Structure 1
Amino acid sequence: MAEADGAKPQSWFADHALLPEGHARDVLFQISDGRFTAVTPNASPAGAGRLPGIALPGFANVHSHAFHRALRGRAQDSDGTFWSWRERMYAVAERLTPDRYLELARATYAEMALAGITAVGEFHYLHHGPGGVPYADPNAMGEALLQAAREAGVRIALLDACYLAGGLTGSGHTPLEGVQLRFGDGDVDGWAGRFTRLAGSDTAVIGAALHSVRAVPAASIRSASAAAAGVPLHVHVSEQPAENEVCRAFYGYTPAALLQHEGALSRRTTAVHATHLSQDDVALLGGASAQACLCPTTERDLADGIGPALQLHEAGVRVSLGSDQHAVIDLLEEARALEMDQRLASGRRGRFTPGELLAALTRHEALGFPEAGRLAVGERADLVGVRLDSPRTAGSDPAQVLFSATAADVDIVLVDGGVVVREGRHRLGDIGRALQAAIEPLWR
């Protein structure tokens, strides 16, 4: 996955770093076998490699749909709602093959690495061929994503999604139709039989997802959750008011309450979006010690709304961040938006401390990598060097760099000790050109 230097002892030095205890100066990082063996502030460079600016832990992109990257700059002429945008997304999904998906996902994950992301949670539901016909390898699309992450140099949690119904109305669930046929496995046993054939590794976690209460009927939620026991479980929850309305109309529960009733809320559960939650929903998530992944740049692009991030945090829910449909791939912007959206909603500043924003930015535990996301001994040796001399960051207090830096300021990225990005360039070369080559054929 990473360059060979990740396997041999090495050292790196940064003038500034954000350590678990806060901002530190003159920090020497020593690495062996992809782990930090020493993190020493007030040290000398001692021949170590130099990290420009400030060293941060690797970022965790907890929610991604890699193929949505093809919609950036292609769907902004679509008025209306999330539901009208979804038709554009379905059009892209119809055209993807395993080979095309590999090409697009590899370039998308490389773009993430350029932005300081060292692990991605890929919420994967595009499983089969046209009409829902399985490929010779029924996990060909998932394997393409695993290969894409490996070649792009980032870790992945492949969150294989159970997707059984086409939607939900006040009268019940509707069948899969059109491109949705590519998403389904017939029933929970069909999904579990395919899902359990996927194999993980040290850099790839095989997790699970329930697409939503719209796509997984209540009668299947409990059995699907049980089939995924012991691995991360992610669910789209209350992204749209319409989802809440039909769930209440048919089941008499909010989506969060339905998941709780069916035993799908626990410490391993991540509620994605969680935009339109009631106070009772927030309490349910907190009581279950669940997590919530907010995707502010997507939620604003799709006019979803502003989620109750502060209330979730105060209820004990661990908040993480994702770039979802990739209108922007910049987790520094996602972290900043987490705070700024709460300022807009409350009329007050300082809703989250810089340390709390950094925790949300680096929530690798949501992806099944609990030993990542901190610049500390024993942790995976992910390092992100962010410049402090760019037009955006010049003059910033290093301790407040999350409020000034963008993905464009990421200069070097190490994943498990291996250099993936150096001087702002990915080891695969020109990622803009790779994205162009992957996306243009999908729109011809």
Structure 2
Amino acid sequence: MRYWCEHAWLDSSGVRSSVVVDVADGRITAVVPDSPCPPDAHRLTGLVLPGFANAHSHAFHRALRGRTHADGGTFWTWRTGMYSLASKLDPDSYLKLATAVYAEMALAGVTCVGEFHYVHHAPGGSRYADPNAMSEALREAASLAGIRVTLLDTCYLAGGIDQPLDPSQLRFSDGSVDAWTSRVSSLRSDSTLLAGAAIHSVRAVPRSSLSALVSAWPTGPLHVHLSEQPAENEACLSAYGLSPTELLAEAGALSPRTTAVHATHLSTKDISLLGSSGTGACFCPTTEADLADGIGPARELVDAGSPLSLGSDQHAVIDPLLEARALEHGERLRTGQRGRFTPAELFSALTAHASLGWQPGFADLVAISLDTPRTAGCLPEQAMLVATGADVHTVIASGKVIVEDGHHRVGDVGRLLAAAIEELWR
């Protein structure tokens, strides 16, 4: 297959015009700028970018959108509602919901998602006949939506530092690192799903288990929620005399294969530990704003050596372009300076597939209209600072068109979302 792009963002040279992209077996085989449109090419108007990587997702949280704002509250009160929702999921309902959520992501240009997955078992903690039934629902959902998923299978052993699991958390836990390892080892990677791992947080994995978990997962992506809330830092310092980052460093968990999610409330030493180890940082700006988490030190982390990625987390918004813009706007509000991240740096964060373990070369293309009320008149190289997901008109993932003229191949995504969410809250 051959595509002709009116404008395309190339890694090496920024935006170029009249770019021909050749594709075979789901991979890009040639990219030639300044070329006339071949007669056999599929024309992609506007600006074409590589597919976006949503590096942090909890798919089931999408069913909370628009249902958590009436009484204000905090992250911790929001979490109570999230646990209530988690108790309603089973493999069938999760398949319906996740399919619609991943299709919503695709409409916004996402071709690869990191699913931070911890709803492993039935309510009360009993095992399904297939111990990975919930994981397999996510695999099928990604396949139906046409995107790739890195399943970050999450170890979750405690209800908090020195606290037992409460009843709502029992279905998240395997009981021990060994039991978690045994279950995760049976997951198979394929062209749709890449098996990864996650430490839920230093709240949910005790100090005594951290090193064993890192040793049990010696290669491949390893993600962890880190310092999203000051209360997490305070509890960790009180219990261990270490910050959460220092605790992870002690356990050998910081490395280039690791991504720290949120990384909001960090000390100067924390930033140095993350940067010097090459540990990535995944910011989720719209979620961090929605939950009043705070604004993390993104610029300082990048300058220290941490690669940056972006996620939609609880899906208050699913729009990678808005996440990128919110990252820059957060920096501007925090520092009083504009241009904290260049468009090229935001481009890198939008397309950080390496944080999810996928190698480059997939034929993932996202075409953005440059003549909408939002983008008309903008320079193509600055489109990501004005465009939204509504401006995405075509998405190609692994060489297959999954969104065309703003419509996903699964059908009416809004109707699918409404039906899946209504079923859960019925």
What is the TM-score normalised by the length of structure 2? 0.99
Q: Are 2:256 and 2:280, in contact at CA under 8 Å, matched by a contact in 1?
A: yes
- Map 1:245-324 onto structure 2 (within 5 A): 245-324=234-313
Q: CA deviation at 1:228?
A: 1.1
Q: Are 1:52 and 1:411, in contact at CA under 8 Å, matched by a contact in 2?
A: no
Structure 2 equivalent of residue 208 of structure 1 = 197
Structure 1 equivalent of residue 34 of structure 2 = 42
Structure 2 equivalent of residue 63 of structure 1 = 56
Q: CA deviation at 1:442?
A: 1.5
**Which letter maps to 1:12?**
Y
**Which letter maps to 2:95?**
L
Structure 1 equivalent of residue 179 of structure 2 = 190
The 2-side partners of 1:59 and 1:16 are apart by 17
- State whether structure 2 residue 4 is matched by structure 1 residue 22: no
**Which letter maps to 1:421?**
V
Structure 2 equivalent of residue 409 of structure 1 = 391
The 1-side partners of 2:113 and 2:226 are apart by 19
Structure 2 equivalent of residue 423 of structure 1 = 405
Q: Secondary structure of 2:87's match?
A: helix
The 2-side partners of 1:50 and 1:73 are apart by 38
Q: Are 1:115 and 1:407, in contact at CA under 8 Å, matched by a contact in 2?
A: yes
**Which letter maps to 1:404?**
V
Structure 2 equivalent of residue 162 of structure 1 = 155
Number of paired residues? 424
**Which letter maps to 1:182?**
R
Q: Secondary structure of 1:209's match?
A: strand
Q: Deviations over 1:14-53 (max 9, x none)?
A: 1111111111011111111111111111101112111121
The 1-side partners of 2:66 and 2:402 are apart by 27
Q: CA deviation at 1:194?
A: 0.6
The 2-side partners of 1:88 and 1:78 are apart by 12
Q: Percent identity?
A: 59
Q: Are 2:139 and 2:192, in contact at CA under 8 Å, matched by a contact in 1?
A: no
Q: Are 1:78 and 1:85, in contact at CA under 8 Å, matched by a contact in 2?
A: no
The 1-side partners of 2:141 and 2:205 are apart by 28
Q: CA deviation at 1:203?
A: 2.7
Task: Pick the aligned partner of 1:174 from 163, 188, 193.
Answer: 163
**Which letter maps to 1:24?**
R
**Which letter maps to 2:188?**
A
5+ residue gaps, structure 1, are 1-9, 372-378
The 1-side partners of 2:315 and 2:215 are apart by 31
Q: Are 1:380 and 1:416, in contact at CA under 8 Å, matched by a contact in 2?
A: yes
- Map 1:362-441 onto structure 2 (within 5 A): 362-371=351-360, 379-441=361-423
Q: Are 1:26 and 1:43, in contact at CA under 8 Å, matched by a contact in 2?
A: yes
**Which letter maps to 2:4?**
F
The 1-side partners of 2:71 and 2:99 are apart by 27
Q: Are 1:12 and 1:29, in contact at CA under 8 Å, matched by a contact in 2?
A: yes
The 2-side partners of 1:164 and 1:319 are apart by 28
Q: Deviations over 1:119-138 (max 9, x none)?
A: 00000000000100011111
Task: Pick the aligned partner of 1:232 from 221, 229, 241.
Answer: 221
Q: Secondary structure of 1:122's match?
A: strand
**Which letter maps to 1:275?**
T
The 1-side partners of 2:31 and 2:179 are apart by 47
**Which letter maps to 2:20?**
L
